[in-house]
Amino acid sequence: MGWLMAMFDLPVLLEEERKEATRFRKALLDDGFIMIQYSVYSRPCVSLERMMKYYERVKSYAPTTGDIRLLFFTDKQWSMSKLVSRTPKELEKVPEQIEFFDSLMHEEPKFKIDEKDNNFLLF
């Protein structure tokens, strides 16, 4: 079990750029991502294969301008994150339908990053 995080800086000076940024954020939400901060979204994934599926989906609707970075965290790494805020808030929880798979996914994922194009390689 893990989390796929999308972080992005998109241009919003022109009206068309703002529309494109809004379209991208809505596409992330439609794809099951949770807004963590305005330009940081995260999605629970039950497996590395599922994470790769959403990596490809984000690539398919990503704007042609700006920067988007996708990171993968194991459930253990995600649970160790800390929220710093003056207003007490609760850390995002794993959706109920995914909790069923949690016990199956406790080991670290087995992948490496291809240095040539920064793609994930499964092994």
Per-residue pLDDT, 100: 45
Per-residue pLDDT, 32: 95
Answer whether 91's CB lies under 8 Å from 44's CB.
no
For the cut 90, the answer to whether the pLDDT of residue 13 exceeds it is: yes
Per-residue pLDDT, 90: 72
Per-residue pLDDT, 122: 47
- Range 5-26 average pLDDT: 97
pLDDT 10s digits, 72-100: 999 889 888 888 877 777 766 666 655 54
pLDDT 10s digits, 19-77: 999 999 999 999 999 999 999 999 999 888 999 999 999 999 999 999 999 999 998 89
| Nearest-angstrom CA–CA distance, 123 and 104 | 18
* Residue 118: band (very low, low, confident or very high) from pLDDT cuts 50, 70, 90: low
Phi-psi region of 70 (alpha: psi -120 to 50; beta: other; left: phi over 0): beta
Q: How far is CA 2 from CA 20, 44, 113, in A?
A: 28, 6, 17
Question: CB neighbours of 9 closer than 8 A, spacing ≥ 6?
Answer: 39, 66, 67
For the cut 70, the answer to whether the pLDDT of residue 115 exceeds it is: no
Domain 2-122 = CATH 3.30.70.240? yes
Comparing 111 with 4, which gets the higher pLDDT?
4
